[in-house]
Amino acid sequence: MDIKKLQTVVVDALEDVKGQEIVLFDTTHLTSLFDRIAVVSGTSNRQTKALAASVRDKVKEAGGDVVGLEGEDTGEWVLVDLGDMIVHIMQPAIRQYYRLEEIWGDKPVKLGAAKRKTTAEGLEAAAPKSKSKHLAANQEQEEAKPVRERKPAARKTAADGAAKPAARKAAAKKIPTGGTVKVAVPKAAAAEAKAAKAAKAAAPKRAKAAEGAAPAKKVIRRIKQADE
């Protein structure tokens, strides 16, 4: 039997008896004795035996071979040897103690991939799900096209043309708040300031010229008084 079909039959058989925590691993890179290993938990001795019996019966019905069964007497750990696949049916305490997942679990196989599309569950999973048309997210929407916005051209009128230069001149005469305004000095005041500046500059020269001149001679006339 094909390995994919075999793993599908095994997973279905385990799910029929409510097997817990079913895991499936690809072991082709670890050993040449078998290609797949499955691990499943059973809550009691009775369930582990029922899981083993289900796997045995389903595989035989599908035309596969069952090499052997081990551990049915105690039911704590039942091993089903299918040749290319080994199924370990364990109670939770035993499974936690031996931890087979750490030994063989390098390449896990998804349970969804283990089921073929020919089964009822596979067909149901593969069938496209109907979407409600009432939801906006499920409705087909048209592809958004880029929109180019054009600014309307400004129309100039005769009144607008006459008003704009006047507005510009008025704006030029406006004085900003808090600025410094320069006021023109009158011509007469400017002339007076210029003359005062010239006189101030000429004063030292005149003082020097006066110092260099010879002192004026003082003529003292003595008047002799007549003898009385």
The 10s digit of each residue's pLDDT in 83-137 is 999 999 999 999 999 999 999 988 999 877 555 444 455 555 445 555 545 445 5
Assigned token pair, 31: 């050993």
Whole-angstrom distance, CA of residue 42 vs CA of residue 95: 10
pLDDT, tens digit, for every residue of 32-70?
Answer: 999 999 999 999 999 999 999 999 999 999 999 999 999
Amino acid at 67: V
pLDDT at 184 over 50: yes
The predicted pLDDT at position 203 comes to 66
Do 1 and 52 contact (CB within 8 A), yes or no? no
According to DSSP, the residues that pair with 25 across neighbouring strands are 37, 108
pLDDT at 150 over 60: yes
pLDDT at 228 over 90: no
pLDDT, tens digit, for every residue of 190-202?
Answer: 777 777 777 777 6
Environment class of 169 (CB within 10 Å of its CB; exposed 0-12, middle 13-18, buried 19+):
exposed
Region 204-221 average pLDDT:
56
Q: Which domains, and CATH codes, for the chain?
A: 3-113 (3.30.460.10)
The predicted pLDDT at position 117 comes to 43
**What is the model's pTM?**
0.51
Region 25-33 average pLDDT:
93
